[in-house]
Amino acid sequence: MSWFILIFSGALEAVWAAALHRTFQSSGRRRIAPAALFLASVLASTGGLAIAMQSIPTGTAYAVWVGVGVVLTSAYAIVTRVERPTAARLLLLGGIAACVVGLKVVA
């Protein structure tokens, strides 16, 4: 169950990163809905990380949490055309994803 919470919390990290981007995206004005989503998801994400760290070693939990967040945030940025899907970027993101799976396997 801790691994599920950890992966879900990593996914919420991608949610808060995208919401933070949307909060300040339009002509420098703050937008309330994305700001509220940012606040809720950052609290849930870090709370889930804290819960998972009770049974998963801290370094492993943090690396998996960040890795899931990085891969999903980058995927969102590519899908929404904020970033270009270059071969190097996709290869490196695949490496991060492989490392996250590797940490799960050896933990």
Q: Write down the pLDDT at residue 26.
A: 65
Angstrom distance (rounded) from CA 65 to CA 51: 12
Tens of pLDDT along the chain (107 residues) come to 899 999 999 999 999 999 988 887 766 667 788 889 999 999 999 999 999 999 999 999 999 999 999 999 999 999 999 899 999 999 999 999 999 889 888 87
What does residue 43 show for φ and ψ, rounded to 5 degrees?
-65, -45
Angstrom distance (rounded) from CA 86 to CA 78: 10
Q: Write down the pLDDT at residue 27.
A: 64
- Please give the full DSSP string across 80-103, using - where no structure is assigned: TTSS---HHHHHHHHHHHHHHHHH
Among 89, 90, 48, 41, which residue's Cα sits nearest to residue 65?
48
Q: Write down the pLDDT at residue 54.
A: 96
Is 13 in contact with 45 (CB distance < 8 Å)? yes
Q: Write down the pLDDT at residue 76.
A: 94
